[in-house]
Structure 1
Amino acid sequence: MRTRALLPAAVAAILLTVTGCGADSGSDTGVGAEAGSPTAAQSSPRVPVIATGTPGGVGGAAVPEALSFTATTVDGKPFDAGNLAGRPVVLWFWAPWCPACKAQAAETAKVATAHRGTVSVVGVAGLDTNTAMKDFVAETRTGVFPHLSDEKGEVWKRFEVTEQSRYVILDKNGTTVYEGVLPAGRGLAEKVAGLTG
């Protein structure tokens, strides 16, 4: 029983050693991989995948490979990312114990509220228990958008995210247009406005 309780802390410690909380690894990118060329993480057998091109997004938009996955929210509800197809998507990867993530919360919620109906913002929580994730959402008042409980790291692996406090922004076609760290969320509003304006 003690080993089970220590597992989330051990995983977090290993990732902190490798990446650091909110450390800027210099791997921010302006443009992602070409549409239709999934990475090894995107084709992971652990991630449930919907067939590419399946209609199901906004207005019946085809679901790109990047959004062909399902998950569960921190509230225990099923989540189908395919429903986000056809509009820009901001994926915010965070951990409940990360101070850099807490610093991004207010700006991320502000952007989600300002662009409701035109851009989908989704938190992807990992590296801790679902209870800690729910507490983070309540404390940071970020319940204005859905948060996925990614305790096994499946969505993190899919997008090749190796550190918390990271954003992955997809255009309406599911192509990654930004991947990186935005300290305190600065610059997020401008990046999102560039996709909608």
Structure 2
Amino acid sequence: MRTRILLPAALAAAVLTLTACGSDEDSASAGDTGASPTKASSPTGSPAGSLDSGGGSQGAKVPEALDFTATTVDGKPFDAKTLAGKPTVLWFWAPWCPTCKGQAAETAKVAAANQGRANVVGVAGLDESAAMRDFVSDTGTSAFPHLSDESGEVWKRFEITQQSYYVILDRTGRTVHEGVLPGGKGLAEKLSALTG
């Protein structure tokens, strides 16, 4: 009985532990991969009623990719359904990752430039909430939400196996890019193509 409980938890921890901070070399192998039918970001979704203010479009259909809840690094509840109807960037990072720190300024710049037209959300993992809060403060990225994904649920949902990784969804929730963008370079252009 105890083995049944511990084995899934140990497996999840092993997957997250095996990740290494991305490097410039990673970008060559992790470029555009398009949508995968097995990923949570498939375009199929269920209709949603009116969405709460502060995120997505009123009455937008909520794709499966955005049908989850989490908690922000500052302890507030977060409902991804509020992102529906707009292109969305999910930036997966870890507090101790130098590559992630190198992406922070460009990611914050892109978030500010696209405010109201697209969503940018950081998804912190592989550490504790206090370290995640420090990263947000130290990098000046507090203008957009960051999720505290200590348990790795959001990372697993998007099949993320390394930090400093971007997943970009179009307004329907379909994955249009996933991979490493060294220094965040190219993020603005990829999002611009979706916000037109």
1:52 is aligned to 2:46: yes
TM-score by length of 1: 0.82
Which digits, 9 at most, give the CA deviation of each residue in 1:134-166, with x for residues without a partner? 000000000010000000000000000000000
Q: What residue is the counterpart of 1:88 in the other structure?
A: 87
1:61 is aligned to 2:68: no
Q: What residue is the counterpart of 1:146 in the other structure?
A: 145
SS in 2 for 1:60: coil
Q: What residue is the counterpart of 2:106 in the other structure?
A: 107
User: C-alpha displacement at 1:60, in angstroms?
Assistant: 1.2
SS in 1 for 2:127: coil
User: C-alpha displacement at 1:102, in angstroms?
Assistant: 0.1
1:28 is aligned to 2:22: no
CA distance in 2, matches of 1:151, 1:19: 14
1:166 is aligned to 2:169: no
SS in 1 for 2:104: helix
CA distance in 1, matches of 2:139, 2:35: 30
Which digits, 9 at most, give the CA deviation of each residue in 1:50-109, with x for residues without a partner? x82223341210100000000000010000000100000000000000000000000000
CA distance in 1, matches of 2:116, 2:61: 18
1:76 is aligned to 2:75: yes
TM-score by length of 2: 0.83
Percent identity among equivalent residues? 64
CA distance in 2, matches of 1:74, 1:193: 27
User: C-alpha displacement at 1:113, in angstroms?
Assistant: 0.2
SS in 1 for 2:22: coil
Partner amino acid, structure 1, of 2:22: G
User: C-alpha displacement at 1:38, in angstroms?
Assistant: 4.9
CA distance in 2, matches of 1:160, 1:53: 24
CA distance in 2, matches of 1:189, 1:27: 18
User: C-alpha displacement at 1:31, in angstroms?
Assistant: 1.6
Cα contact 1:111–1:188 (8 A) shared by 2: yes
User: C-alpha displacement at 1:19, in angstroms?
Assistant: 3.6
Cα contact 2:16–2:152 (8 A) shared by 1: no
SS in 1 for 2:150: coil
SS in 1 for 2:58: helix
Cα contact 1:63–1:85 (8 A) shared by 2: yes
Structure 1: segments with no counterpart, 5+ residues: 1-10, 44-50
